[in-house]
Amino acid sequence: MTVAGRGMKPGMQLGGERMDEALVLRIAAAAGVPEPTAAQRASGWSLAGEVWRVRAPGQEYALRLYADGHEVSMQAESAILRATQECGLPVPGVRAAGTHEGRAYLLTDWCTGETVLEALSRLPQAAELLGRSFGRAHADVHRIQVPAGLRQAGAAGDRLLHLDFHLLNVLTDGRSVTAILDWENARAGDPREDVARTVSVIQIHAPQMAGGGAGRLALRSFLHGYFDGYRDLGGWALEGMAPYYAWAGEFAVRDLAPKAGGTILRRAERWARWWRHRARA
């Protein structure tokens, strides 16, 4: 999971090479950006790579650069974005995908709007409304049936799962969802996995979110609205969730272990233990 949002930060290590602005601009030009003028890193650290905001005269783009060994992720994410756009989901439009100077890239339109977390921090009184639109958008994702030929072996279901549908990967205009970002983990499966993953991320990262302005009461109202919105749009029946919450906790521990520690990792471990116990009860 990328946890730092869309704020601008300097270059980072990617595949053993420092990704500086000059290199990013060369890749952007090779991807078809006309006369790119500036690039700034626009997301937090991810094992699969990073995203840069690229500016050109009259246009802005998002350039995702994948870490070594993640070329398949680029191909999969490109295909998913194109397919979900055809299904009417609010996702970034794909402009180009390929490799340049040994680096796999995916070029998309830059999406306007603020993250749901930013909106929740700014408008805590609108928490339930924001949660409801967030839940409806998630239900929309789960309405998409993944064709048999595109499902991974052993998939537990045929519905599209995002598996990183959280408050930093969804943009809003304050009333409705304007974009769903970061599809690198998407696959077919049982929607309960996806819902459990979303709820676990919110609960595990609640102290960070509350510290950023989204108070605990606002997060509680947001989750209430999320479930209401998910049901409003005819989302999947959320029955027998304990084993899915346990799975989501284990997923979070694996995701956080290489890049986080302390309180957040311990919260993920406690979440996983609690739900494993409930699943066995």
What pLDDT digit, counting tens, does each position of 128-177 carry? 999 999 999 999 999 999 988 778 878 888 999 999 999 999 999 998 99
Classify each residue of 82-118 as buried b or exposed e, where b means 16 or more C-beta atoms within 10 Å of its C-beta: ebbeeeebbbbebbbbbebeebbbbbbebbebbbbbb
Could you tell me which residues come within 8 angstroms of residue 260 by beta carbon, excluding any fewer than 6 positions away? none
Q: Give phi and psi for 64, each to the nearest 5.
A: -90, 125
Helix (H, G, I), strand (E, B) or coil at 187: strand
Q: What is the DSSP string of 35-53?
A: S--EEEE-S--BTTEEEEE
Task: Indicate the CATH number of 13-109 among 3.90.226.10, 3.10.20.30, 3.30.200.20, 3.40.50.150.
Answer: 3.30.200.20
Q: How is the beta sheet containing 94-100 ordered, strand by strand?
A: 38-41, 49-56, 59-66, 103-109, 94-100
Mean model confidence pLDDT for the chain:
87
pLDDT for position 84: 94
Task: Indicate the CATH number of 114-280 among 1.10.3730.10, 3.40.47.10, 3.90.950.10, 1.10.510.10.
Answer: 1.10.510.10
| Euclidean distance between CA atoms 170 and 116, whole angstroms | 6
pLDDT in tens, the chain (281 residues): 433 344 433 333 444 445 689 999 999 999 999 999 999 998 544 556 789 999 999 999 999 998 877 788 888 899 999 999 999 999 999 999 999 999 999 999 999 889 999 999 999 999 999 999 999 999 999 999 998 877 887 888 899 999 999 999 999 999 899 999 999 889 999 999 999 999 999 999 887 776 655 588 899 999 999 999 999 877 778 999 999 999 999 999 998 888 777 888 999 999 999 999 999 98
- Amino acid in position 108: T
| Euclidean distance between CA atoms 122 and 75, whole angstroms | 36
User: Domain segments of the chain: what residues?
Assistant: 13-109, 114-280
Q: Are 96 and 64 within 8 A, CB to CB?
A: no
